[in-house]
Amino acid sequence: MDSIERKLAAELLRIGAVLLRPDEPFIWASGWHSPIYCDNRRIFSDPGLRSFVAESLAERAAELYPEAEVVAGVATGAIAHGVLAADRMGKPFVYVRPKPKDHGTGSMIEGNLPKGARVVVIEDLVSTGMSSLAAVDALRSAGAEVLGMVAVFTYGFDVAAEAFASKGVSFSTLSNYGVLVEEAIRSGYIKPADSEVLRRWREDPSGWNNK
């Protein structure tokens, strides 16, 4: 197993970025109910982890997409990750809003994005993939060539993999749900009953709230 996957999972648990509420589920923008929430924004408050994630994102992006000319972050969670990764890569940075701003130019993309630029997208978390792919659509509409995406974490849903495949977008993540749960069990971070709830949810995340 990738040492980065395991280390990042352990670090997310250490800083309390993983929240469990089986009896009071979180509701995602997609409408899904979830007993778990991964709050990657806590990474920004830990200097050591923040640097580790930035360096890992930069190294992964440079390895997979060496021809990238611009780094794009998905607002809002991946703006800081994207800036830090772009700085380490020595590349220009832009970020993509979830929708056009309601003043000024009305743009969805902030920063200088030349027509035809080859772009690697940085994301903090991939769940259903809808918001991530909306950013890809915006970049393509602006004339960019999207090479692929590198994210901090993914829940690993089939619906996301299918959506990325349908758009022709490759993506890689530093860590994932399966590794996170394994590490949480190994370290005693979650109880056996919690692990069963997480297993059932992962089997049917869209229908879990009805069970």
Q: Average pLDDT, stretch 28-48?
A: 91
24, 123 in Cβ contact below 8 A? no
For the domain made up of 3-210, give the CATH fold.
Rossmann fold (3.40.50)
Tokens of 194: 């919690």
> Kind and range of the H or E element at 109?
strand 109-110
Q: 54 pLDDT band (50/70/90 cuts)? A: very high
pLDDT in tens, 93-105: 999 999 886 776 6
pLDDT in tens, 126-174: 999 999 999 999 999 999 999 999 999 999 999 999 999 999 999 999 9
Report the pLDDT value the prediction gives residue 201, as an integer from 0 to 100: 92
Report the pLDDT value the prediction gives residue 104, as an integer from 0 to 100: 64
Claim: this prediction has a pTM higher than 0.85: yes
